[in-house]
Each structure stands twice: as C-alpha cells, then as structure tokens.
Chains A and B, each alone.
Chain A
C-alpha cells in the first residue's frame, strides 16, 4: 500500500521569497515520486519526478525537490516565488511493485503568492 500526506493545505508567501511545500510518503516498495501543478481550471502539469536516480531533482520553472528516504519526505522548494506560481500543487507516489503503475495523490497544497 502507498499513501501521500501533504502537510499544508494552504501556503501563502510574498513574491520573491522562498517556497516550501511539504510532502511525506509511505510505500511498501521503492517509490517513484512526482510533483504536479494545477492552475485554476486547468489540467495537471508535471513539475518534476524522482525515479531512484539523483536524490535532488530539478524541475521546470525553478522548482526542485529532495528525496529523503530516512525521513520519507519529498518536499518541493523554489528560491524565489513568482506571481505565476500561484496554483495548487500535488505530491504523487507510484509504487514500484512489479506491474503496478497506479498513482496515489496527496490532497493538494494551494499556494498563494502575495505581491
């Protein structure tokens, strides 16, 4: 079984300040981990993914995430928030059990950016 917990349902930051969106996961197998972003009334866009290579993963739009197995965490960060980053962010886990490709989503973190 696998699960994802996004620790904050809503995060508010000022433009130009760092962003931290927290995610903890649980998986019985070596997981693949993803962050997706969803802008209002839009579909889901892949920000970045971890698939057992480098533990620090760089994504699009200046986002990055670090896989920490000991802490079962995969937090998303960005050094400086931009107004266009305001969106909902989903942390997602996919199990590596042979033949299992299902995604399990966290409940999302809504990021607000204050000008």
Chain B
C-alpha cells in the first residue's frame, strides 16, 4: 500500500545544530507540504512543493529550508536549530485540487 513516512519519530538536538527531518511518500503525489503543530496555533505551513525542483515558502518559513530532487522525498532542514523550533512536524502530500491530503505520523523535535 502507498504511504507517507516521516523519520525520525523523535529527535532531541542542541541549539545551533543543523537538523534534517525526512519525508518519503509512495503515492506519486506531486504536491508535498511541511507543517508544524504548536499548542494554540493549530498547524502552520512551513514550506511546500508542487513538483521536482519546485519549492515555496509558507507562513512560518524562517529558519527552515527544503529541497525536492525527486517526487518521493521532501526533506526539511533546520539550518541552525533554535528552542523556538521545538514542535511536532507533519509532512503531507496531495494529488491536486479536490483530493484529500495524506499526513505522515509526525516528528517530535526538541531543541535544548
């Protein structure tokens, strides 16, 4: 069955370190998204991609970057982790307008 997987499930890192969160989907979806979830804020869009080599900034993109070298993967990189980036991160993919979105299980990141 097709799926979307995130790794790692949990990560603790130190302030200032570079961290990469992986997202891999086997749906063959063109559209992929990264969200962060924080209490009282719901989910907020960080970056998104509509296809290979396409990346776009979302609502809360400062301090984050993504790259899309193939259809399956959209890794999220924190260039220099900050305590404010402690959060739960969700990756999602979608086939296009009118279609539902499939979410990964999330990565809980703690920056100490």
Chain A residues with CB under 8 Å of B50's CB are: 99, 101
> Cβ of A103 and Cβ of B90 under 8 Å apart?
no
Distance between Cα atoms of A41 and B70 in the complex (Å) = 30
Distance between Cα atoms of A94 and B106 in the complex (Å) = 21
B-facing mask of A89-115, CB < 8 A → 1, else 0? Answer: 010001010010111111110000000
> Cβ of A103 and Cβ of B101 under 8 Å apart?
yes
CB-contacts of B29-82 with A (<8 A) = 31, 33, 35, 40-45, 48, 50, 58
Q: Interface residues of B, CB < 8 Å — how many?
A: 24
Interface of B, helix, strand, loop or mixed by DSSP: strand
Interchain CB contact (< 8 A) of B90 among A43, A101, A104: A43
Interchain CB contact (< 8 A) of A43 among B45, B100, B106: B106
> Cβ of A90 and Cβ of B94 under 8 Å apart?
no
Residue of A nearest to B106 (CB): A43
How many interface residues does chain A have, given as a range?
A: 20 to 34
Interchain CB contact (< 8 A) of B100 among A46, A96, A104, A105: A46
**Highest count of chain B CB atoms <10 Å: which of A32, A44, A99:** A44
- Please list the residues of chain A having a beta carbon within 8 angstroms of any beta carbon in chain B: 32, 34, 36, 42-44, 46, 49, 51-52, 90, 94, 96, 99, 101-108
A-B pairs with lowest CB-CB distance, top 6:
A107-B42, A51-B98, A105-B42, A105-B43, A44-B103, A43-B105
A–B complex contacts, Cβ < 8 Å, 15 sampled: A34-B100, A42-B105, A43-B104, A43-B106, A44-B43, A46-B100, A49-B100, A51-B98, A96-B97, A102-B48, A103-B35, A103-B92, A104-B45, A105-B44, A107-B40
